[in-house]
Amino acid sequence: MNKLLVLGAVALAAVFVAAGAFFTVHQTQQVLITQFGQPIRVIQQPGLNVKLPFIQSVIVFDRRLLDFEGPGEEVILGDQRRLIVDSFTRYRITDPLLFFQTVGATEAGIRGRLNSIVSSALRRVLASEQLLSVLSADRTRIMAEIRRQVNEEARRFGIEVTDVRIRRADLPDENTQAILARMQTEREREARQLRAEGAEQAQRIRAQAERDRTVLLAEAEGQANILRGQGEQEAIRIFAEAFQRDPEFFQFWRTMQAYREVFGNGESRMVLTPESDFFRFFRDIPHLAPAGR
C-alpha cells in the first residue's frame, strides 16, 4: 500500500514536472526563455518545446502586426500654419531579446516610446512642408519620409515599423474660422466677377439681337415696298387693260364703287348741284330723272 502511494506521488510529481517542462509556441507567437530573469534563448518557430521547470520562464511576444494610435497634437508647418495631426502606426516585434532588454516583457512599454518617436518625426518632417502639400497627393511622399525616420529610431527597440499614417489633419478652430471667412470673401468676389461678366455678355447679346432686328425689319420693309410697288404696278396695268376693253362699263363700275363708299353707311352728307357729274348715272335712270325730261 505504501509502495502504491509512493508510486502515485512520483507519477503525479512527474506529470507536474512534465507540464512545467513542455510548452507550445503558436504560429502567431515568438518566445523568449529566461532563467532567473536573464534571457537564455529565443524561439521563433512554432511547435512543441522544452524548458527547465521552475527555473526557466517563458515570455510570449506577438509576431503579428500591432497598432499604435497616437493622440492628436498640434504641429507647425513650413508656412507657419498650425495643424492638428492625429496619426497611427503599425509595427511588429522582430527581435524579442532586444525588445525585452530595452522595453521590457510587455508590449505596453513600447507605446510611450513610439509616441515620442512618431511625434518627433512628424514635427521634423512637417516643419518643412506647406499646408497644400499635406492636404494633397504629396502626403504619400511625406508619410514615406516619416515612416523611414520612425523605423530607423525604432530598430534599437527590436521592432520594425511598417507604416505610419496621418488619420486626421485639421486646422485649429481659430484658423478654420479665418480660412472660412477668407474662402467666403473669395467666393463672393468670384460671384461678383461672374455676374459682371454675365451682365456684359447679356448686354452684348441684346445689342446684337437689336441690331439683327433692325436689319431684318429694314430688309422686310424694303422687300414689302418692292412687292407693294410691283402690286400697284400690276393693278394699274389690270385697270388700264380693263378700261381699254370697255371704257363705259369701267367708268360705270368705278362710279358705283364711289356711291357705295359714300352712301354705304347712310350717314354721309354731300352738298352738290343736281347737275354735278357725280350724279350723272342718277339722271340717266328714268324714274329718277327730273320732270319734263
Question: pLDDT digit string (tens) for 218-246?
Answer: 999 999 999 989 898 888 888 777 777 77
Radius of gyration of the chain (CA): 57
Number of domains forming the structure of the chain: 3
> Looking at the domain assignment, is residue 140 inside a domain?
yes
Query: Are 160 and 70 in a shared domain?
Result: yes
Is residue 139 domain-resident? yes
Write the DSSP symbol of residue 166. Answer: E
Q: How far apart are the C-alpha atoms of 114 and 101, rounded to whole Å?
A: 16
Burial profile 187-197: b = 16 or more Cβ within 10 angstroms, e = fewer: eeeeeeeeeee
- Which pTM was predicted? 0.55
- What pLDDT, on the 0 to 100 scale, is given for residue 5? 62
Residues 51 and 76 in one domain: no
Residue 139, all three cell numbers: 502626403
Q: Are residues 57 and 152 in the same domain?
A: no
Flag whether pLDDT at 210 surpasses 80: yes
Grid cell of 12 as nine digits: 503525479
For residue 250, pLDDT beyond 80: no
Same domain for 55 and 81: no
Indicate if 42 and 114 belong to the same structural domain: no
pLDDT tens per residue, range 23-36: 889 899 999 999 88
Same domain, 29 and 109: no
Same domain? For 80 and 168 the reply is yes
The answer to whether residues 74 and 158 belong to one domain is yes
Q: Is residue 25 part of a domain?
A: yes
For residue 115, what are the domain limits? 66-177
Distances (CA, A) of 170 to 10, 82, 183: 69, 9, 16
